[in-house]
Amino acid sequence: MWIPRRLYELLPYVYMVLGAAAFVAAFTLERSPHGLLMLLGGLSLTAGLVLWMRRRDYRESQAEYDSRSLDE
């Protein structure tokens, strides 16, 4: 599956914004499934943070290694 780079880079932030919006909706809306919104918000925030941290760690670890192939 191929995702455009701009969308790929924005995904963690989109997940975090959706999670925060679900939390806000759970606390502000009077007639809503509060538990479901809290669960979805927590899962979405966690997914966004995990993606962001894994990408950051991957990029940092790749910078430590030599980019030349083994055949050179």
pLDDT, tens digit (0-9, with 9 covering 90-100), for 23-68: 999 999 988 899 999 999 999 999 999 999 999 998 888 877 766 6
28 part of a folded domain? yes
What pLDDT, on the 0 to 100 scale, is given for residue 60?
85
69 part of a folded domain? no
72 part of a folded domain? no
Q: How far is CA 12 from CA 31, 32, 56, 69, in A?
A: 29, 26, 11, 31
What's the total number of domains in the chain?
1
16 part of a folded domain? yes
Q: How far apart are the first and last CA of the chain?
A: 31
Position with higher pLDDT, 7 vs 72: 7
What sign results for the dihedral spanned by CA atoms 16, 18, 36, 47? negative
Segments forming the whole domain that contains residue 31: 5-61
pTM of the model: 0.78
71 part of a folded domain? no
